[in-house]
Amino acid sequence: MDALVPFAPDRPKTRLADVLSPAERRGFADAMLSDVLGALRTADFSPTLLTTEPVERDAAQTVDDRPLTEAVNAALADRRPDPDRPVCVVMADLALATPRSLSRLRASGDVVVAPGRGGGTNALAVRHPDFRVDYHGASYLDHLRAARAVGASVREVDSHRLATDVDERADLAELLLHGDGAARDWLVDAGFELDATDGRVGVRRSGSN
């Protein structure tokens, strides 16, 4: 199954600016992308990077420097997904995604959607040629409406792993708790560890490293 993985190497993870330098954010985003591509391949997806500029990666690439929504919709229009040729859209920062969780996108439905925490849309499987995305605001609700508008059936994937896009400091704790790939290793090497002094577990960073 084809899977588009949008990636913007020029402006990675700005909401982690309070804990990571620009160079670190690039390194961390690269590690997350490696995990996502690896999990997709293990689950027999064929990933294509939908990237704002060419990157050095052993992966098929489509370069499109437009904003996310426009670039994804151009790719969907180009590929015309149908029930026999679904197209997935999987975010590059789903560092907790496993082959098993991603395989749940194969569930039946014209549009299979894995909501992200905070109303986002972290992964989609599209089997309807007329469905289009809109990633602004509460995109999960917008995508339910968009599917209804074109008569597409919708299935929700209820997954904590797919709901956890790694955007903010609190998300790093999820990665330390549940991750086992390159991104988790990157965090550990950078000195991050769990901090269980508060209600929910957070992260702290050691001074060295």
Q: Which of 13, 1, 68, 11 is nearest to 183 (CA)?
A: 13
> Residue 149 or residue 194: which is nearer to a copy of itself going by CB?
194
> Residue 110 or residue 174: which is nearer to a copy of itself going by CB?
174
Question: What is the closest distance, in whole angstroms, from the C-beta atom of residue 104 to a copy of itself in the complex?
Answer: 9
> Residue 64 or residue 156: which is nearer to a copy of itself going by CB?
156
Other C-beta atoms closer than 10 Å to the C-beta of 64 total 17
Order across the sheet with 2-7: list the strands: 60-63, 46-51, 2-7, 87-90, 121-126, 111-115, 154-156
Question: What is the closest distance, in whole angstroms, from the C-beta atom of residue 63 to a copy of itself in the complex?
Answer: 25
**Side chain identity at 84, as an amino acid letter?**
D
> Residue 75 or residue 97: which is nearer to a copy of itself going by CB?
97
> Residue 99 or residue 129: which is nearer to a copy of itself going by CB?
99
Question: What is the closest distance, in whole angstroms, from the C-beta atom of residue 80 to a copy of itself in the complex?
Answer: 30
Contacts (Cβ under 8 Å, ≥6 apart) of 55: 7, 9, 49, 61
Question: What is the closest distance, in whole angstroms, from the C-beta atom of residue 138 to a copy of itself in the complex?
Answer: 5
Contacts (Cβ under 8 Å, ≥6 apart) of 161: 94, 96, 97, 98, 101, 178
Question: What is the closest distance, in whole angstroms, from the C-beta atom of residue 204 to a copy of itself in the complex?
Answer: 13
Binding site for a copy of itself (CB under 8 A): 15, 100-101, 115, 117-120, 137-138, 140-141, 158-163, 167-168, 170, 173-174, 177-178, 194, 196, 199-202
Q: Which of 96, 149, 172, 187 is nearest to 114 (CA)?
A: 96
